[in-house]
Structure 1
Amino acid sequence: MKKLLAGLLGLILLFVIAGAVGTFIPVPFATEPLSNRIEPTPQRILVLSNPIHTDIAIKLDPYLIAQFGFLEEAGVLLQHPDAQWLIFGWGGRSFYLETPTWADLKPMPVLRALTVDQSVMHVDLAGAIDETQDWVTPLTIDNEELRYLLEFIDASFARTDGKVKAVGSYGEFDRFFEANGSFNALFGCNTWTAEALRMAGLKTGLWNPLPQSLALSLRLFNPDNTSEALTEALKLPHNPASF
């Protein structure tokens, strides 16, 4: 028993050290200067956090609705009159689907999240989001960077014969879809968010397994794109609520 506990504590310590080191190594090491881009137009995106998970919110507009029109066929109400943001997240199928709230936490989804699980994309809608809340991290990118971000998100959906497959929902305004890639504790939802943000021209840490480490790396490596909201995001965040 003592050896088991020592081994477990060793793994936890290794995870903490690796997470700390990964936070302070910037990726990518260099980015293309904004001045080299053609007619850059500022675009606002949000990173939404809870204690263990991050999502990316993108402002709904005709271009976004056209690009992700396939979601409407699966029941996502993109043109709902109160919808202002389209929210994307990637995660483990078992934990994601079976744990809508902490009260629903069960051993098997946790075990699968700590080992290997199939992945899903979660798509949700939101109305107005108060960007001053401590679970919201506003970021500004340009139109070209937004295009790369959307291409990365689109490629995360698994397709069969060109079509996505819905596999469940929490309620009326969200849907889960089969996704590409396998989920595990080392490369999970927050590392997916970090990779997506890197596609959008932002720098993150080499490895960001937790929302707090991701927020810290964003603040460290994107000084021209930080605000008090990023400082607030390092606090214990809340669950974002959809309309």
Structure 2
Amino acid sequence: MRFIKRILKYLGVILLIPATYFTVALLCSYIPVTPKTSNVEKNKSVYLATNGIHLEIIIPKTDMDASLLDGLKHTKKTQFLSFGWGDKTYYTKAATSLAFTNMNRFQAALLNTPSLMHVTRHTNIRDHWVEIEITAVQFKKLQTYINESFKTDTHHHKTVIPEISYGSTDNFYEANGSYNCLNTCNTWVNTAFKQSELKACLWTPFDFGLLRMHKK
């Protein structure tokens, strides 16, 4: 009987960890971090989108800084580029139709795993994109944050990974930073908004917090 009680106690502790994580994450997703308001004209637009799990930031190519555009694959028809950041193993396996195992999930959640940048080319605005009007200063800070997320070689060139993609309109690049349960694809976007002085969540590993705040 004492052995069973001990087992139940350990199980309770194990279950308490993810329960606490999701409770804190949910609460923080609804706590806004609002920058100081200003009367500066909001003359730029960026977009926020999700595939149901992962958020991505979309920027018009014609407004993009040369430093961010440098080294990225695009064509004359490309009007927008979307940027996402995430776990290297997940991206690689998803792009090559390989199974993302429970061990992979454990490693991504609890260990600091390598990351990749995912860049997709678009020829037009999509209906599900959320438009966000921002100032020129905010726009500059956002692009700087995204650009600094790319890992570069000794010549400061972005490193594309040619063997993986979801199709003919996207590419993956080596990235800076490590993925874990506290620093996910969606916290990367949330941090981008914080550092760009845009409305953001206190902290969130989910996609719905930022979308809710910026939907008009």
Q: Provide the TM-score with structure 2 as the length reference.
A: 0.83
Q: Which runs of 5+ in 2 are unaligned?
A: 1-6
Partner of 1:163: 157
Partners of 1:141 and 1:200 within 8 A in 2? no
Distance change in 2, residues 1:144/1:6 (3 Å): same
Query: Contact 1:19 / 1:213 at 8 angstroms: preserved in 2?
Result: no
Aligned counterpart in structure 2 of residue 214 of structure 1, from 185, 189, 210 = 210
Map of 2:3 onto structure 1: none
Q: Hey, what's the Cα distance between the residues in 2 that align with 1:8 and 1:52?
A: 25
In structure 2, the residue matched to 1:57 is: 58
Query: Secondary structure of the residue that 1:213 maps to in structure 2?
Result: helix
* 1:24-80: CA deviation from partner (whole Å, max 9, x where unpaired): 33335x42x332x4xx3521111111232111011110x4263334324xxx12x33
Q: What's the RMSD between the two structures over aligned residues?
A: 2.3
Percent identical among aligned pairs is: 26
Q: State whether structure 2 residue 187 is matched by structure 1 residue 181.
A: no
Structure 1: unaligned runs, 5 residues or longer: 220-225, 228-243
**Counterpart in the other structure of 2:116:** 120
Contact kept, 8 Å, 1:124 with 1:174, in 2: the verdict is yes
1:200-239 aligned within 5 A:
200-216=196-212, 218-219=213-214, 226-227=215-216
After superposition, the C-alpha distances for 1:154-195 in whole angstroms (9 at most, x for unaligned) are 111112212222224313322211111110012111011011
Corresponding residue for 1:150?
143
Residues 14-163 of structure 1: pairs in structure 2 closer than 5 A: 14-27=20-33, 30-31=35-36, 33-35=37-39, 37=40, 40-61=41-62, 63-64=63-64, 66-72=66-72, 76-77=73-74, 79-81=75-77, 83-100=78-95, 104-107=98-101, 108-116=103-111, 117-131=113-127, 133=128, 136-161=129-154, 162-163=156-157
Name the residue aligned to 1:232.
Answer: none
Over 3 Å counting, the alpha-carbon distance change for 1:105 and 1:70 in structure 2 is same
> Scaled by the length of structure 1, what TM-score is found?
0.75
- Describe the superposition over 1:171-230 as per-residue Cα deviations: whole angstroms up to 9, x where unpaired: 3322211111110012111011011122332121111110023323x25xxxxxx41xxx
User: Which region of structure 1 is more displaced relative to structure 2, 5-14 or 119-128?
Assistant: 5-14
Q: Pick the structure with greater CA Rg.
A: 2
Runs of 4+ in 1 over 6 A off after TM superposition: none
**CA distance 1:142–1:181, change in 2 (3 Å):** same
Q: How many residues align?
A: 205
What SS does the corresponding residue of 2:20 show, helix, strand or coil?
helix
